[in-house]
Structure 1
Amino acid sequence: MARRTGLREFQLSLGERLRTATTAAALQSRLGFQVGADNWFVALHQVSEVIPVPQSVPVPLTASWFRGVANVRGNLYSIIDFSSFQGGDVTGAAMERRVILVSDRLIGGAGLLVTRMLGLRNPDQFEKLPLPADAAPWLGGVYAAAGGTRWLELDLPKLVRQSGFLEVGT
């Protein structure tokens, strides 16, 4: 009987350690993407999913970076061209374009149009650089990869609280 209890305790302990390790790994993981010529990453837990660019309906009298609204599985999402929002070029019609759906815990129904996805990244493998003085409020950090490539960290909670992001009317 003591052996069963020991095995059960071991299984529960192992299960808890696996959940903790998975949660810690998920909190460390960053989703890499490209916007124009810049490499970005965002915390994985701030994203609900990445989808191909859905067909969207333009909304009159909105900012040029507001691409319109799209129906994603019965839910309406505002599609924001992240490059254009930052003052860059409009994201073209390349096949690699994707929409990153922002977690509903941060804001409901928002998606960022990006140039292409770059996969998962671990910020521990980058060297943190100082933020530029004129950095956008949603820039969480600047990093350098081993090869010298510059990476920017998107702070989605700060982005979705910006009045410019929330006010799409012209």
Structure 2
Amino acid sequence: MANREALRELQARLASRLQAARAEGMSVAWLAVQAAGRKYLFPLSQSGEIVPLTHVQPVPYAVNWFKGVVNIRGGLFGVVDLASFMSAETGESIQNSPASEPSVVTLNAALDVNCALQVDALSGLRGVDAFTQSHGPAEGSPAFFGNVFVDSAGEAWQEINLRILSQSPQFLSISA
């Protein structure tokens, strides 16, 4: 119960910081998330709402990374397990460490896809000033991989272009 309350507080803080950043024109560019030990950056302009993951209705005959559908404020959203999807796309194995309170990040309504990405942890908002260096994606990476940013602790954060991801045939094909 305390974890759920802490998650709500984090979401409220992120929402207020995002509102302030838009109002003040700050250089906040990404929502930082983690999935299966990997660190990802979602462009704020392509990200939507953050909500706790609850009551997912499974969909039969779907690929294993498509968890089902969930009702978010009266709209149906398909839920994609980001870690499992990335594993299927890159061929890398994932550390299966289920989050105690997973969240979903919806894609911005402008992308025209009712989808939410399941993540293990929210890591706040990041701007370019939070990183010491960056480089392009590795050779052979999926088209939706953007730059890799490295923070002062030496941690690598992979930028994900949600617009390209949401239009990729692999992402849109959920039948098993």
> What's the TM-score once normalised by structure 2's chain length?
0.78
Contact kept in structure 2, 1:84 and 1:90, CA below 8 Å = no
Instruction: Report the secondary structure of 2:110's partner residue.
Output: coil
Q: Structure 1 CA distance, aligned partners of 2:53 and 2:64?
A: 17
Map residues 30-109 of structure 1 onto 2, 5 A cutoff.
30-87=30-87, 88-89=93-94, 92-109=97-114
Contact kept in structure 1, 2:29 and 2:44, CA below 8 Å = yes
The count of aligned residue pairs is 151
Q: Structure 2 CA distance, aligned partners of 1:90 and 1:166?
A: 24
Q: Could you say which structure has the larger radius of gyration? A: 1
Q: CA deviation at 1:164?
A: 0.7
Q: Structure 2 CA distance, aligned partners of 1:107 and 1:165?
A: 14
Q: 1:11 matched to which residue of 2?
A: none
- RMSD across aligned positions (CA): 2.1
Q: CA deviation at 1:39?
A: 1.0
Q: CA deviation at 1:167?
A: 1.0
Q: CA deviation at 1:91?
A: 6.0
Q: 2:23 matched to which residue of 1?
A: 22
Q: CA deviation at 1:21?
A: 7.2
Q: Structure 2 CA distance, aligned partners of 1:42 and 1:20?
A: 16
Gapped regions of structure 2 (runs ≥ 5): 1-19, 88-92
Q: Percent identity?
A: 26
Q: Structure 2 CA distance, aligned partners of 1:79 and 1:91?
A: 18
Q: Structure 2 CA distance, aligned partners of 1:83 and 1:110?
A: 15
Contact kept in structure 2, 1:140 and 1:154, CA below 8 Å = yes
Q: CA deviation at 1:136?
A: 1.5
Instruction: Report the secondary structure of 2:159's partner residue.
Output: strand
Gapped regions of structure 1 (runs ≥ 5): 1-18
Instruction: Report the secondary structure of 1:83's partner residue.
Output: helix
Q: CA deviation at 1:131?
A: 1.9
